[in-house]
């Protein structure tokens, strides 16, 4: 699952983190699980998490002995919403020129 469209106008790493968190919204993710899901080094992921937390797009909670990160409810799309895929550059050009 992907984050809502209105939250996708961000740096690629932030969008990747949000998408990973939305996929595991119910159970949350640790920083190490995010590292496995997102193709970036830990420092880059931590910068993205900091930016997302500053804008209240993620929620951090301590559960048992683990720190779990969740996407904020407003980032998670409603299951009944139609998920619109972003068109690739090729698809946009094809539509633009009627090919």
Give the integer Cα–Cα distance in Å for 70 and 23.
10
**pLDDT exceeds 90 at position 91:** no
pLDDT of 53: 96
pLDDT-derived band at 64 (thresholds 50, 70, 90) equals confident
pLDDT at 84 over 90: no
Residue 41: is it exposed, middle or buried by C-beta count within 10 angstroms (0-12/13-18/19+)?
exposed
The pTM (predicted TM-score) of the whole model is 0.78
User: What span, in angstroms and rounded, lies between the C-alpha atoms of 46 and 41?
Assistant: 9
Whether residue 97 has pLDDT greater than 80 = no
CATH fold of 10-97, please?
Arc Repressor Mutant, subunit A (1.10.10)
Sequence spans of domains, the chain: 10-97
Q: Encoding tokens for residue 19?
A: 């998408």
- pLDDT at residue 16, as a whole number: 94
Quick check: 85 pLDDT over 70? Answer: no
Which stretches of the chain are assigned E, i.e. beta strand? 58-63, 66-71
Mean pLDDT for the chain overall: 87
If you average pLDDT over residues 55-65, what whole number do you get? 91
Residue 30 to residues 42, 59, 61, 80, Cα–Cα distance (Å): 12, 12, 10, 28
């Amino acid at each position: 699952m992907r984050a809502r469209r209105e939250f996708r106008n961000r740096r690629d790493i932030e969008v990747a983190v949000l998408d990973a968190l939305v996929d595991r919204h119910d159970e949350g993710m640790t920083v190490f699980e995010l590292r496995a899901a997102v193709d970036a080094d830990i420092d880059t992921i931590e910068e993205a998490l900091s930016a997302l937390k500053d804008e209240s797009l993620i929620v951090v909670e301590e559960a048992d002995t683990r720190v779990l990160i969740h996407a904020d409810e407003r980032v998670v799309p409603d299951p009944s919403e139609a998920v619109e895929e972003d068109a690739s550059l090729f698809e946009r050009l094809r539509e633009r020129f009627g090919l």
